[in-house]
Amino acid sequence: MSDPRPLEEEAYDMSGARLALTLCVTKAREGSEADLDALERMFQQLGFESTMKRDPTAQQFQEELEKFQQAMDAREDFVSCAFVVLMAHGVEGRLKGEDEQMVELESLFKVLNNKNCQALKAKPKVYIVQACRGEQRDPGETVGRDDIVMIAKDSPQTIPTYTDTLHVYSTVEGYIAYRNDKEGSCFIQTLVDVFTERRGPILELLTEVTRRMAEAELVQEGKARKVNPEIQSTLRKRLYLQK
């Protein structure tokens, strides 16, 4: 028997500090500065304390994130939310540092989980990853019908290690991410536009980002290409960014 009761719309408390860390390899990634400028504008508008580090080595990706975690846990005020933006060349599951060495995304994600970062326990953690996840290119497909499946479960009294996290990738597994030499990446620019122009829970905003990117025509090497982000969420509540 179906349950006709509406879902309770509990939202994360966003009244405390909002923190953002951006780690961006600009070397051989033309257009990165346009993305950094757009992100800075977005974080300022959304009330985030933003830190940006350019051209980290693979080891520095890890070290900067650990410093970010330690500084957060040392704070005496209440932290509401953290954004981590990672921009680099990459392959599935790994990013390439400025030194051409690789760092595992999983080891970066672990730093802020509910076990390792007390300040963010049960608080929203958003990772935005602008990087290739392989070499495949998508020419696009004719539109059929849309199927969306949503699964919800009651929150237990204890909390799993990996909840309250949102991973937003610029492209789906195995595929290339695109960047314009002057205007920046389609993904970051679209995300900033939507996050600064629209109001609503973050998953709805990301659906709008996906819609805009899916409609956009990219031309690469003279051929039309399609690209869309991929969103992986373990958020337990609605997350609103606009104050």
Residues marked as catalytic: 89, 132
Backbone angles phi, psi at 204, to 5 degrees: -70, -40
Q: How far apart are CA 158 and CA 131, in angstroms?
A: 34
Q: How far apart are CA 35 and CA 76, in angstroms?
A: 32
Cα 207 to chain centroid, rounded: 13
Nearest to 33 by CA among 55, 51, 57: 55
- Count Cβ atoms within 10 A of the Cβ of residue 110 and give its class: 0-12 exposed, 13-18 middle, 19 or more buried: middle
- Structural contact between residues 65 and 108, judged by C-beta atoms closer than 8 angstroms: yes
- Count Cβ atoms within 10 A of the Cβ of residue 121 and give its class: 0-12 exposed, 13-18 middle, 19 or more buried: middle
Q: Which long-range contacts (CB under 8 A, 24 or more apart) does 209-216 make?
A: 213/186, 213/187, 216/186, 216/190
